[in-house]
Amino acid sequence: MRELNTFGAVLTYAIEIETLLRDAYRETGMAAEAKAADRRRLRLERTRAEHVLEITLEPIHGLAVTDYAELHDVSTDLRDKEAAATAFFQDASPKINVRQAQRVLQRCAREHAAQSNAG
Amino acid sequence: MASRIQNYIDGEWVDAAGIDALPVHNPATCELLALCPESNQADVDHAVQAARAGFAEWRQTPLLSRAQYMHHFKVQMEDRFEEVARTIVIENGKTMDEARGEVRRGIESIDFALGVPFLMRNDGVEDISSGIDETTVRQPAGVFVAITPFNFPSMVPLWFLPVAIVCGNTFILKPSPQTPLSAQLILEMLDDLDLPEGVVNLVHGGVAASTALMEHPGVTGVSFVGSTPVAKIVYETCTRNGKRVQAQGGAKNYIAVMPDANLDASVMNILGAAYGCAGQRCLAAAVAVGVGDAYEPLKEKLRSQAQQLRVGYGLDESSQMGSVVSDAARERIEHMISEGEAAGAEVLVDGRSVDVDGYEGGSFVGPTILADVTPEMSVAREEIFGPVLSLMKADTFDEAIELINGSKFGNGASIFTSNGNYAREFKYHVNAGNIGVNIGVAAPSASFPFGGQKDSFFGDLHGQGADSIEFFTERKVVIERWV
């Protein structure tokens, strides 16, 4: 089981989610959604680089990739993938002890929720 | 076959004249990464001559242009952020998060150097005497050298290099031969900036290269970070040779935990402070002092949390603690744990002989806690520089202060408390250069000097902050009369 037990592990997984969604939207010709996912990916990459101050690095508990299996299941439709992404970002944001990074994850959760509801 | 890396002198990558070379290993995988040349006197002469020749032009380069080079350097560091972090991991063994944190701290120092045009401004007084004006001018001082350690192979060079050169000096970096690849990458980025030849130079090697640099008449000043015995030698050698010097040595950082502290939050922070970078940092928490009733619950919570830390290869992002830098370091750390045990300490969590799947030959030491440590034990007095936390008990706050001030080191000390009076008394009475209140690693940001007292620092002006402007400049007083 892939553990998401460090700041870097959580942010890297978040970046993977956005990359996965960007590629999926591109494949289905949904350019605006693909662009939005790519913007989030860049924002998360910046967050991983800028808000990692070791003074605040603490172990993270209770997050695992298996809880978001729908994201990696090819049979899941994009709306359900968006719902799984929303759940991940909602679960992850309170686990991160850097306020600025938390805010970015919360914004991602809001955007995915809107996308999921828009269907 | 691993390649032999090169020096960077006078704007070119050149082979070192020195024939010998040291192997550079990935401490987790044992892979041979490179061969680091042992530069000799001829290499050092070459670098110093280039730096001196470059100084004449560089000091006349407008200050804003000098700062602008650092702006472009920062852009390069941001663009290659992940690559720099990965390089740190493969040669040092720390985790990716720790390496990214190191790169970020290094970039902070570049940011600070962008403010040098403001910080180098002069002051002056008109009519200090009848018709006489008096002003001070800051000027660059010449060729500066930094001899930097393995534990922060990217960040520590950046404590010195950006400020030194924006102040108008030229610079020679001599990184640790255990971790030369991060420095190689820094110089690769600087090379892309098309700085004038000789402004920045890289000389690889060990003791011979360091000694030649410290004794060279063409060198103005030396910045050093390393162990206390070597810092003493650096300080003595440089002062004997008429150079300014800042030599940062080892540490034994104490953390006092008061009964009124938020214990859960304190323990998580202390874990990071003790085991971050596998304890190989000069601000690592080495001794936690539980005061009064705090001792037993502190001991229990630390034991249970430390056991859960996942030790592994730094490039695997689920690793919460990486390897130490070498097998020799692992052996030394394990020996000191055994010494503590033999002296009567209880090995509450034992990191000796830790198994890491897939990296059986790696230089790993797991999180270790030694409990019931007493002041006369070597594990209470000497720097271990590994993931080992000693626990001591003090009956009162005053006794805790006495224990802390009894250390020959004075790099950092922290207190965890919810009582403002304890915090104030701690700040007031503890003899250490960096004080933390509810913070385990009291690491100053780039705009503050990196403190250090007693055997943790030799010199007058510290690295970083306003001290660095003083260190890298010469002040001249101009007294004028025109009437």
DSSP B211-240: HHHHH-TT--EEEEES-HHHHHHHHHHHHH
Binary contact (A54, B269; C-beta < 8 A): no
Tell me which residue in A3, A48, A53 faces B318 most closely, judged by beta carbons. A3
| Same-domain check for residues B330 and B366 | yes
> Rounded to whole angstroms, how far apart are CA atoms B250 and B456?
5
Closest CA to B255 of B245, B268, B242: B268
* B101 touching A (Cβ < 8 Å): yes
- Helix (H), strand (E) at residue B363: none
Count structural domains, chain A: 1
Q: Is residue B445 domain-resident?
A: no
Residue B193 token pair: 């900036």
Chain A residues in contact with B320 (beta carbon < 8 A)? 5-6, 59
- Helix (H), strand (E) at residue B360: none
pLDDT at A56 over 70: no
Specify the CATH number for the domain of residue B417: 3.40.309.10
> Rounded to whole angstroms, how far apart are CA atoms B56 and B74?
25
> Rounded to whole angstroms, how far apart are CA atoms B340 and B377?
7
Measure in Å the smallest separation between the Cα of A49 and chain B Cα atoms.
Answer: 6
Q: Average pLDDT of chain B?
A: 97
| Same-domain check for residues B214 and B360 | no
Binary contact (A49, B309; C-beta < 8 A): no
Q: Give me the amino acid identity at B288.
A: A
User: Which residues span the domain enclosing A88?
Assistant: 7-118
Residue B32 token pair: 């041979």
Contact at 8 Å (CB) between B109 and A58? no
B23 three-state secondary structure: strand
Q: Is residue A1 domain-resident?
A: no
Q: Is residue B448 domain-resident?
A: no
Residues of chain B with pLDDT under 50: none
Cα maximum dimension of chain A: 43
At A58 the pLDDT is: 80
Q: What is the signed CA dihedral for B407, B409, B412, B416, rounded to 10 degrees?
A: -10
Chain B residues in contact with A12 (beta carbon < 8 A)? 317
Q: Is residue A18 domain-resident?
A: yes
At B458 the pLDDT is: 98
- To test the contact with chain A by mutation, choose from B94, B98, B281, B320 the residue with the greatest count of A C-beta atoms within 10 A, namely B320
pLDDT at A54 over 60: no
Tell me which residue in A2, A8, A50 faces B97 most closely, judged by beta carbons. A8
| Same-domain check for residues B267 and B148 | no
| Integer CA distances (angstroms), B52 to B69, B92, B310, B400, in order | 20, 32, 49, 51
- Helix %, strand %, coil % of chain A (to 5): 75, 0, 25
Q: Is residue B90 domain-resident?
A: yes
Q: Is residue B2 domain-resident?
A: no
Specify the CATH number for the domain of residue B238: 3.40.605.10
Binary contact (A57, B276; C-beta < 8 A): yes
Q: What is the pLDDT of residues A93-102, one digit of tens each?
A: 999 988 999 9
| Same-domain check for residues B297 and B386 | yes
Count structural domains, chain B: 2
* B317 touching A (Cβ < 8 Å): yes
Chain A residues in contact with B103 (beta carbon < 8 A)? 49
Q: Is residue B450 domain-resident?
A: no
Count of A-B CB contacts under 8 Å: 67
One-character DSSP codes across B118-152:
HHT---EEEEEETTEEEEEEEEE-SEEEEE--SSS
Closest CA to A50 of A7, A86, A4: A7
Closest CA to B53 of B159, B143, B115, B138: B143
Q: Is residue B271 domain-resident?
A: yes
Mean pLDDT, range A71-77, rounded to an integer = 90
Q: Is residue B443 domain-resident?
A: no
Q: Is residue A103 domain-resident?
A: yes
User: Which residues span the domain enclosing B122?
Assistant: 7-249+456-481
Q: Record the pTM.
A: 0.96
Q: Is residue A101 domain-resident?
A: yes
Q: Is residue A2 domain-resident?
A: no
In the 8-state DSSP scheme, what is residue B321? Answer: B
pLDDT at A3 over 90: no
| Same-domain check for residues B227 and B302 | no
| Same-domain check for residues B303 and B392 | yes
Mean pLDDT, range A5-30, rounded to an integer = 97
Contact at 8 Å (CB) between B470 and B449? no
Is B282 in the active site?
A: yes
- Work out the burial of residue B86: count CB atoms within 10 Å of its CB; fewer than 13 is exposed, 13-18 middle, 19 or more buried: middle
Chain B residues in contact with A56 (beta carbon < 8 A)? 272
At A74 the pLDDT is: 86
Residue B410 token pair: 């004075």
Q: Is residue A88 domain-resident?
A: yes
Contact at 8 Å (CB) between B352 and B311? no
